[in-house]
Amino acid sequence: MVGASAGGVEALRELMRGLPGDLPAAMLIVLHMAARGRGALARVLQRVAALEVTPAEDLAPVRPGRVYVARPDRHLLLRDGEVRLGRGPRENGYRPAVDPLFRSAARWYAARTVAVVLSGSLDDGAAGALAVARRGGTVAVQDPADAMYDGMPSAALRAVGSAVVAPAAELPGQLTRLVGGPAAAPGGGTGREMGGTLRLETDLAELDPEALHQPARPGTPSRVSCPDCHGVLFRIDDRPTVRYRCRVGHAWSPGALEASKDQEVEDAIWVAIRALKERTALYRDLAERARGSGLPESAARYEERQRQAERAAETIRGLLTSGRLGLGEPG
């Protein structure tokens, strides 16, 4: 299982270029992409790969030597020896997202899972990598110093300190060694006991009705609302990671949630600036109308209100340009 985001295409090309055509395992790849994207990644990777690379198809059997690439706006998942394309809630603002793939692999393949985290910003993949490790699987991470964006590899390393670390060019050799045994099969391996949270979260990614309508949710209610649906987020402490999930299933890592809240603040600021500019235009019109009607005192009041609105808009604009709001500056 491979997850990547910003800077991930080059890392994926490096990985695929070095893997042998007779790799005795299947590979599933999630790269963050726009919901209306073209989904050309499979063609891009096939040009450099000895393995067969195809866009994932729902219910396709998982076969060794095949690479299944996520499609836009669908979670890429595993279930009992089959590829599944889930329409479940976005995670960290994305569908497909890395965590759902890793969790589904941990659930169905347990100790025979190898999860690979490549270049990407923020921290998608860390919670999923931890689930893989807890089920007895192996986690491999592109060396953060080698990654174009080190956010995802660094977060995965914080979550799974025992992860294999290597530059992208050396990962093919590491993976070939790790999967050198028989191809993975559901029920294989000696994975550790699976918790109810893992089962619930993998079912939510497939939009399973029983999971969606289950009244209980893991975690404790927080004071933060979901950026997607504005419902209450439940904080799931899964040390050393933490994540937030709302009642309908949208999930957020701390980094992704912070970035989304930053965007909410910036959007609100631009709405305020727009409203002040509209107020400025209104007072200008009213002042001109008052002067044309021979009401100089009314015109003067409107002109003063116009100046106040202009000063307020400039103050807010100054906060944005100065960086004093701390937007886009992770702690």
> Using alpha carbons only, what angle is made at residue 318 by residues 316 and 321, rounded to the nearest 5 degrees?
115
Active site residue 253: no
Q: Choose, from 75, 99, 104, 124, the residue flagged as catalytic.
A: 124
Active site residue 203: no
Q: Choose, from 32, 121, 123, 238, the residue flagged as catalytic.
A: 32
- Residues 261 and 325: their CA atoms lie apart, in Å, by 12
* Helices then strands, each counted (H, E), the chain: 10, 13
Cis previous bond, 240, omega within 30: yes
Active site residue 146: no
Indicate the DSSP class of residue 50. Answer: S
CB 227 within 8 A of CB 256: no
Q: Choose, from 5, 119, 121, 154, the residue flagged as catalytic.
A: 5
Q: What are phi and psi of 54, to 5 degrees?
A: -140, 150
End-to-end CA distance of the chain: 30
- Residues 312 and 276: their CA atoms lie apart, in Å, by 7
Dihedral sign, Cα of residue 330, residue 150, residue 74, residue 77: negative
> Using alpha carbons only, what angle is made at residue 230 by residues 149 and 75, rounded to the nearest 5 degrees?
50
- CB-based contacts of 179: which residues, under 8 Å, 6+ apart? 23, 24, 25, 114
Give the number of other Cβ atoms within 10 Å of residue 230's Cβ. 9
- Residues 124 and 159: their CA atoms lie apart, in Å, by 11
CB 279 within 8 A of CB 246: no
CA distances to 102, 115, 229, 290 from 89, rounded to whole Å, are 16, 22, 10, 55
Query: Looking at the annotation, which residues are catalytic?
Result: 5, 32, 124
